């Protein structure tokens, strides 16, 4: 169990490292995209909350 967890952890770390390299490469685009996504999520959340209210 612990061994599996460590293995997953290691894979996650490798994945994060490769993502970080991509992020450095596409830094500005990525940040803008992230900000757009966050704003979009907030808007979506507001709409959902309004729909859920009786």
pLDDT 10s digits, 5-45:
777 777 888 888 887 776 666 666 767 777 878 888 888 88
* The predicted structure's pLDDT at residue 4: 73
pLDDT at 53 > cutoff 70? yes
Q: What pLDDT, on the 0 to 100 scale, is given for residue 41?
A: 84
pLDDT at residue 26, as a whole number: 62
pLDDT of residue 52: 86
Contact call for residues 12 and 19 (beta carbons, < 8 A): no
């Amino acid at each position: 169990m612990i061994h599996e967890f460590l293995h997953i952890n290691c894979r996650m770390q490798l994945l994060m490292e490769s993502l970080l390299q991509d992020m450095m490469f596409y830094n500005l685009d990525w940040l803008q995209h992230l900000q757009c996504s966050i704003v979009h999520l907030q808007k979506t959340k507001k709409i959902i909350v309004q729909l859920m209210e009786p």
